[in-house]
Structure 1
Amino acid sequence: MIEGYGKVVAAYPFKVRLIAESVRKTDKMDAHTLLDLYKAGYPPESYVPTKRIRELRELCRDRASLVEEATALKNRLRYKMFSHGFTVKTFSRVNVEILKTNAFTSVMASGLEDVTKRIKELDTKIAEEAKTFRYAELIDSIPGIGAYSALAIASEIADVSRFKDVEHLEAYAGLVPRLYQSGDTEFKGHIVKGNKFLKTLLVECVRIHVMHCPDSWITRSYHRIS
Structure 2
Amino acid sequence: MRIIALDVHRSFAQMAILEKGKIRDAGRIDLEHGRLLQFATKLKPDDEIVIEATGNTSAIVRLLSPFVGRVVIANPILVRAIAWAKVKTDKIDAAVLAKLHASGFLPEVWMPDEETETRRRVVAERTQLVCQMTRLKNRIHSVLHANLIPPYKGTLFSKRGRAWLEAQPLAEDQRRVVLRHAGELDRLGGELAQVDKSLAKTALQEPRVKRLMTITGVDVTVALSIVAAVGDIERSHRRKSSSATSDSTRGSGSPVTSRPTMAASPNKAEPTRDRCWSRRRGSFPVCLVRCAPSSCASVALGRPT
Q: In 2, Cα distance between the equivalents of 1:224 and 1:162? A: 35
Q: In 2, Cα distance between the equivalents of 1:134 and 1:143? A: 17
Q: In structure 2, what residue type is equivalent to 1:60?
A: V
Q: In 2, Cα distance between the equivalents of 1:35 and 1:42? A: 10
Deviates more, 1:10-19 or 1:91-100: 91-100
Q: In 2, Cα distance between the equivalents of 1:14 and 1:77? A: 41
Partner of 2:151: 87
How far apart are 1:63 and its partner, in Å? 0.8
Q: In 2, Cα distance between the equivalents of 1:99 and 1:66? A: 25
Partner of 2:274: 184
Q: Which structure dedicates a bigger proportion of its chain to strand?
A: 2
Deviates more, 1:108-117 or 1:125-134: 125-134
SS of the residue corresponding to residue 47 of structure 1 reads: coil
How far apart are 1:147 and its partner, in Å? 0.9
SS of the residue corresponding to residue 191 of structure 2 reads: helix
Q: 1:224 to 1:47 in 2, by over 3 A?
A: farther
Which has the greater radius of gyration?
2
Q: In 1, Cα distance between the equivalents of 2:191 and 2:215? A: 26
SS of the residue corresponding to residue 71 of structure 2 reads: coil
How far apart are 1:11 and its partner, in Å? 1.0
Q: In structure 1, what residue type is equivalent to 2:163?
A: I
| TM-score (normalised: structure 1) | 0.65
Choose which of 81, 90, 94 in structure 2 pairs with 1:18: 81
SS of the residue corresponding to residue 9 of structure 1 reads: strand
CA deviation digits over 1:28-69, x for unaligned, max 9? 232222223223333110222222212211211211121122
Following superposition of structure 1 onto structure 2, how do residues 1-226 of structure 1 map, counting pairs within 5 Å? 1=59, 2-6=61-65, 7-82=70-145, 83-88=147-152, 89-95=154-160, 97-98=162-163, 101=166, 104=175, 105-163=178-236, 183-187=273-277, 188=288
How far apart are 1:71 and its partner, in Å? 1.8
Point out which structure has higher relative CO (alpha carbons under 8 A, 6+ apart): 1
Q: In 2, Cα distance between the equivalents of 1:80 and 1:14? A: 44
Are 1:16 and 1:44, in contact at CA under 8 Å, matched by a contact in 2?
A: yes
How far apart are 1:96 and its partner, in Å? 5.2
Give aligned pairs, total: 176
Are 2:155 and 2:161, in contact at CA under 8 Å, matched by a contact in 1?
A: no
Identity score, percent:
25
Q: 1:16 to 1:79 in 2, by over 3 A?
A: closer
Deviates more, 1:90-99 or 1:56-65: 90-99
SS of the residue corresponding to residue 8 of structure 1 reads: strand
Q: In 1, Cα distance between the equivalents of 2:83 and 2:138? A: 46
Q: 1:100 to 1:37 in 2, by over 3 A?
A: same
Q: CA RMSD in A?
A: 3.1
How far apart are 1:127 and its partner, in Å? 0.8
Q: In structure 2, what residue type is equivalent to 1:85?
A: I
Are 1:96 and 1:109, in contact at CA under 8 Å, matched by a contact in 2?
A: no
Q: 1:95 to 1:118 in 2, by over 3 A?
A: farther
CA deviation digits over 1:124-180, x for unaligned, max 9? 01111222333323212222111111101111111224458xxxxxxxxxxxxxxxx
| TM-score (normalised: structure 2) | 0.50
SS of the residue corresponding to residue 15 of structure 1 reads: coil
